[in-house]
């Protein structure tokens, strides 16, 4: 009997309490990291929307140089990629001046954002790109 007690003392391993503490620490780290990861994804989607808006803006200006007018269809625009970033959709419209000949507006939305109303807008009359969450 005494021999078995000495053998048990020499065994190496983790106790249940030590394992539970490690699992709790991993849980706390995951609870911190997962929301941060979601925020990083959100910012990446917004950056892709801004990049698509800038691409359309540049193509629209190139179109104006050739035709002295802007267009409301992105199929007419030279140098524009055939597809936008995954999940993004682009809409072109008249600018704040009310006529397509003197101004245009670009609106980019994404189906991957948590907010359905989030959009990036550019208006040529103000020259500003605005993100609305």
Enumerate the domain spans of the chain.
15-132
**pLDDT recorded at residue 49:** 92
Express each pLDDT in 103-123 by its tens digit: 889 999 988 887 788 899 998
**pLDDT recorded at residue 7:** 61
Supply φ then ψ for residue 76, to 5 degrees. Answer: -80, -10
In angstroms, what CA-CA distances link 72 with 17, 62, 66, 117, 120?
A: 66, 14, 15, 22, 17
**pLDDT recorded at residue 94:** 79
Q: How confident is the model at residue 9 (pLDDT cuts 50, 70, 90)?
A: low
Structure tokens at 4: 């078995």
**pLDDT recorded at residue 111:** 84
Taken as a whole, the chain contains a residue count of 133
- The DSSP output letter for 96 is T
Architecture of domain 15-132: 2-Layer Sandwich (3.30)
Is the overall model pTM greater than 0.75, yes or no?
A: no
């Amino acid at each position: 009997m005494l021999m078995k007690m000495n053998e048990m003392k020499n065994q190496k391993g983790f106790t249940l309490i030590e394992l539970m503490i490690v699992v709790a620490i991993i849980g706390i780290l995951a609870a911190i990291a997962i929301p941060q990861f979601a925020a990083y994804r959100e910012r990446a989607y917004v950056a892709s929307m801004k990049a698509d808006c800038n691409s359309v803006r540049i193509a629209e200006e190139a179109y104006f140089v050739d035709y002295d007018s802007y267009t409301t269809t992105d199929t007419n625009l030279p140098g524009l990629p055939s597809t936008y970033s995954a999940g993004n959709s682009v809409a072109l419209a008249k600018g704040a001046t009310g006529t397509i000949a003197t101004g245009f507006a670009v609106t980019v939305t994404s189906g991957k954002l948590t907010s359905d109303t989030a959009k990036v807008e550019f208006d040529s009359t103000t020259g500003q790109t605005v993100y609305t969450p």
